[in-house]
Structure 1
Amino acid sequence: MSGAWIVAAKRTAVAPRHGALAALAVHDLAAPLIQAILAETGLAPDSVDDIILGNALYGGGNPARVVGLAAGLNVPAQTIDTQCCAGLDAVIAASERIAAGAADVILCGGVESFSRSPLRLRRPLHDNEEAVEYQRPPFTPWADRDPDMIASAHDLAVRLDIPRVRQEVFAIESHRKALAARDRLQDEIVAVAGLDRDAFARELSEKTCARLPALVGTITAATTAVEADAAAVLAVVSDAALQELKATHALRITASRRIAGDPVLPGLMSTQAAQAVLAQAQLATGDIAVVEMMEAFAVQALGTVDALRFDPIRVNRGGGALSRGHPIGASGAILAVRLFHELQQEAPGTRGLATIAAAGGLGSALIVEKA
């Protein structure tokens, strides 16, 4: 069994749908990240064994292979679609292959373009019928147990007794942290289409939040992450490859878990995935110094903070998806990139955790430790 090590992590800036990255195809977003990682690490293109990328909206095919070819790599590639979990699941899949001795160098992560995603049509059954557009595929086989995500977030807020004002305070803080960290975050961002910083973060006030109409119940536009375009790629390597690289800032992947639960309340899964991975690693909440968790909705993130009693100071230190946006297949990989760069500021032995939930009742979590 080999260890699995993250030795480099890069991402694009995150731009809202129809924003600064709207004209770019997914390979235009992700290929520059692969090239930047190869240049930074000195990894030779022919040393890469595989490319694994998460994606949810491409519409078929294998975008990871297209990305690899666009980056100049003629290597095997595979695409994972587990919706919001896909980017982190790609990192987990890479670490498992490395640990099993099936590969030494894998480039992994996620890429998504809401702006360029294809229109979806259901094929008519008969010649006299027209195709019908739909917005998303089913996440369960039961229509009465396949909720809209915003409605599900409201149901979660009711279940956890998290009022609108508390969700708004969390969103305001996410934007504040993102603005404060904007210059620092540029170390992890590869400029694409001239964009070198996250575009959405802003001065968000209580008055602004209070004026917003409810989407459903207690959920508003301020407490819901916007649809976005972005990519994130990490290099995961074996013990042998690590020694050859002589990397001095690597993170060891020490534990990972993918779980499934109630598809009606998928927002619970980020909490349950974090609990599962901590139990697997035999660690307590206090053993984790840095936490990157998905902010698809403020209520989802608050539920995880409350359940695990994470110190808010340790959570999403550079802001989260509420202040960046949610490029579905890339979001989990962005958490891993953020974790990599946040831990560079910490002492050896410091641990970090990333956790995310997905539609259909899926959750994924990862623990890393600084070498």
Structure 2
Amino acid sequence: MTAQIIAACRSAVVPRGGAFAALSLPDLGAPVLQAALRQAGIAPAQVDEVIVSNALGGGGNPARLVALAAGLPEHVAGLSIDRQCAGGLDALLLAKALVESSAAHVVIAGGVESYSLRPQRLRNFPDGRPPEPYDQPPFSPWPDRDPDMAQAADALAQAYGISRADQDAWAIASHRKAMGACFSAEEIVGMEGQTNDPFARRMSPSLAARVKPVAGSITAANMAVAADGAAFCVVVSEQLCRSLGHSGIRIMGGATKGDQPELPGIAPLAAMRATFDQTGLSARNIACAEVMEAFAVQAIACVQGSDLDPACVNIGGGALARGHPIGASGTINAVRLCHELRKTGGTGLATIAAAGGIATAVVLGA
């Protein structure tokens, strides 16, 4: 029995401070969850569990807030997870495990993130010093193996010989593909007047070349902007999928793997290898892929290292042309993949790297 995705939708992805800046996590997530239920033809009372990835919300149980705000019954407890950027795909794998073990029949899996409203972080000291604000929490117990993310991306570029010009060209192509894409109302739930990702724009090599570096070859033009967004998939059993008359998207397999903490951008290669071993597939079987573009260099390194066909990667543009709502980004990639597979058929791959040197890959089949 293979778990099936029978509905997949997302909000637009809006850079922080934009149209979603005033929306709390439940305000941002509940309309998308409700739209996914409508697409699935599932009543709220049929939902067994809601799994929500969130990385910046400051704790608590955002899944419970979103579930209640969406009008789900109080018996739906909600499960919140934080595996940073990888959490949105991990939510899907958890949903698959629940459904295929018959522990649940209907699971809504996704992610929601408000970069605009993330709480401020303060580090306390035992000697009585005033609390000190910080931005990035530790992702490794060893400071010398826990770099800033932009510095880690530049180290990856140096290690793999990927130039700034290569990275800028990838970013330009991402924006171009996004500008030419047509996203359906079934994919993007209109909220706050946003029915498309507003960040996509026309870029040129000369424009990208004028952007000042953040770290070595890494610039604001070839790294994704911080953003707000939400995405959800409705995951059910094959039997329920058939009884509802859906043509589902199969969750064929997936894996989360760790790699070098100081080079998180290359971790998807380990996750892809494990996923291909698990499913008996290879890069040659992949008709469509959504590879996370937190940085252009990590997408380039992962495509080259996995032998994926670049022509099948991020067909409608990637995070460089949208933005990066951390905990939601993995599910956004999965939603994008579902809608591409409904058009093209075949087998698809979604993969994403996360801070600390971990990554998740998921294979879906139409």
Q: State TM-score, norm by structure 2.
A: 0.97
In the alignment, structure 1 residue 176 sits paired with structure 2 residue 176:
yes
2:190 is aligned to 191
Matches within 5 A, 1:104-119: 104-119=105-120
1:186 Cα offset (Å): 4.3
1:328 Cα offset (Å): 0.2
In the alignment, structure 1 residue 91 sits paired with structure 2 residue 89:
no
SS in 2 for 1:300: helix
Distance 1:356 1:206 in 2: 26
One-letter identity of the residue aligned with 1:262 = Q
One-letter identity of the residue aligned with 1:172 = I
Distance 1:239 1:272 in 2: 29
Structure 2 segments unaligned to the other structure (5+ residues): none
Deviations for 1:315-368, whole angstroms, at most 9, x for unmatched residues?
Answer: 000000000000000000001000110001124xx1000011100011100001
Deviations for 1:271-290, whole angstroms, at most 9, x for unmatched residues?
Answer: 22122211221112111100
One-letter identity of the residue aligned with 1:15 = V
**Percent pairwise identity:** 49
Moved over 6 A (4+): none
- 200-209 or 36-45, larger mean C-alpha shift: 36-45
1:82 is aligned to 83
SS in 2 for 1:222: coil
1:318 is aligned to 316
- Matching residue within 336, 348, 352 for 1:352: 348
In the alignment, structure 1 residue 368 sits paired with structure 2 residue 356:
no
1:243 Cα offset (Å): 2.5
Distance 1:92 1:83 in 2: 15
1:158 is aligned to 158
SS in 2 for 1:46: helix
1:123 is aligned to 124
One-letter identity of the residue aligned with 2:120 = L
How many equivalent residue pairs?
364
1:212 is aligned to 211
Judged with a 3 Å threshold, the aligned counterparts in structure 2 of structure 1 residues 11 and 79 are, in CA distance, closer, same or farther, namely same
Deviations for 1:144-195, whole angstroms, at most 9, x for unmatched residues?
Answer: 11111000000000110000101000000000000000x3354400011121
1:240 Cα offset (Å): 2.7
Deviations for 1:239-275, whole angstroms, at most 9, x for unmatched residues?
Answer: 2321221112x11111111101110111111222122
**Is the 8 Å Cα contact of residues 104 and 240 (structure 1) preserved in structure 2?**
no
Q: Compute the RMSD of aligned alpha carbons.
A: 1.1
- 135-144 or 48-57, larger mean C-alpha shift: 135-144
One-letter identity of the residue aligned with 2:299 = A
Distance 1:260 1:39 in 2: 37
Deviations for 1:15-51, whole angstroms, at most 9, x for unmatched residues?
Answer: 0011111110111111001111222222011110000
Distance 1:187 1:71 in 2: 18
1:233 is aligned to 232
Distance 1:64 1:131 in 2: 30
1:61 Cα offset (Å): 0.0
SS in 1 for 2:183: helix
Distance 2:92 2:28 in 1: 18
**Is the 8 Å Cα contact of residues 185 and 318 (structure 1) preserved in structure 2?**
no
Distance 2:170 2:40 in 1: 37
Distance 1:353 1:18 in 2: 31
Distance 1:257 1:339 in 2: 17
1:126 Cα offset (Å): 4.5
Deviations for 1:292-315, whole angstroms, at most 9, x for unmatched residues?
Answer: 010010000000111122221100
In the alignment, structure 1 residue 267 sits paired with structure 2 residue 251:
no
SS in 1 for 2:213: coil
1:92 Cα offset (Å): 0.8
Distance 2:18 2:84 in 1: 22
Distance 2:32 2:214 in 1: 36
Distance 1:41 1:356 in 2: 26
Deviations for 1:176-231, whole angstroms, at most 9, x for unmatched residues?
Answer: 000000x3354400011121110100001111111111111111111100000000
